[in-house]
Amino acid sequence: MNLNGVTIDDAFAEAFPMKATRLILTAHNLEWAYNAANAATGFATSVIACGCEAGIERELGPSETPDGRPGLAILLFAVSTKELTRQLERRIGQCVLTSPTSAVFAGLDQGESLPLGKYLRYFGDGFQTSKQIGGRRYWRIPVMDGEFLIQDTTEMVSGVGGGNFLVLAESQEQALRACEAAVSAMRQLPNIIMPFPGGVVRSGSKVGSKYPSLRASTNDAFCPTIMG
C-alpha cells in the first residue's frame, strides 16, 4: 500500500485486551489541571513495569466539565480490574488529592463500577461529607486549601492496549519527524492515548532474551547500529 508517497506494509499490530477508565480532572485553571494530570499519568508507559498505561486524552473547556472549571480527560488502562482499582487509588490519592484546587469526576456514564472516592474519603478523618446529585454520590474532603471534591465511583469498560506500528526511515531525523507527524494526527482523535514519551517508543522489544531472567529484550532486527 502507498499513501501520500509513504509505503505501508499492511501486516499487523500488537493489541491486548485491557480494562480501562476515563476520569475528568478539573482545577482553578488549566495549568493546575495539567499539574494534577501529569502527575497522575506519570510513570505509566507500559503495564510491564508501571502497573498501568495512562495519559491525557484531551483538554476540556468549562462547558464540558461537571463543575464548570477548566479540565482534562485522562485514560487509564490495566490488565485486570484489581490492578486498575489499585492504580486508581494510588494515583488519585498521591497525585490529584495532593494537587491544589483539584477535583475528580467519572468520565464515563456506563460500565462496571469502580471505587474512586469511596475509600479516599477516609483521608477526611471523619470530617468528610457526601452529597447526592443526579443519582451520583460525591465526597467533600477538607484539605488545607479548602476542600477536595471527588466522585464516589467511576466506570470501567473493556479497552485495547499495545497498538503500535514501526516507522522505517533512512535517518534518525527522518524517523523522528515522521513519528512527530503521526502523533500530532493521532492527538486529534478521541478516546486514545500515547503513553510513551512524546507518544513514541524507541526501545521496541522482542519476546525473550539470551539472559534467562529477562522476558523481553531489544529488538535487534531493527537496530541500525548492529545490522549488517
Query: Per DSSP, what are the bridge partners of residue 56?
Result: 74
Give the CATH fold of the 165-226 domain: Alpha-Beta Plaits (3.30.70)
pTM confidence score = 0.94
186 phi, psi to nearest 5 deg:
-70, -30
Instruction: Supply the pLDDT for residue 228.
Output: 61
> Is 16-158's fold the same as 165-226's?
yes
Task: Work out the number of other CB atoms within 10 angstroms of the CB of residue 188.
Answer: 8
Give the CATH fold of the 16-158 domain: Alpha-Beta Plaits (3.30.70)
**Distance of alpha carbon 94 from its chain centroid, rounded?**
16
136 phi, psi to nearest 5 deg:
-120, 145
- How do the domains of the chain map onto residue ranges? 16-158, 165-226
Tens-place pLDDT, residues 128-159: 999 999 899 999 999 999 999 999 999 999 99
Tens-place pLDDT, residues 28-78: 999 999 999 999 999 999 998 999 999 999 999 999 999 999 999 999 999
Q: Looking at the predicted structure, is the pLDDT value of residue 163 above 90?
A: no
Tens-place pLDDT, residues 79-130: 999 999 999 999 999 999 999 999 999 999 999 999 999 999 999 999 999 9
Instruction: Supply the pLDDT for residue 1.
Output: 87
Tens-place pLDDT, residues 180-193: 999 999 999 999 99
Tens-place pLDDT, residues 2-16: 988 888 888 877 889
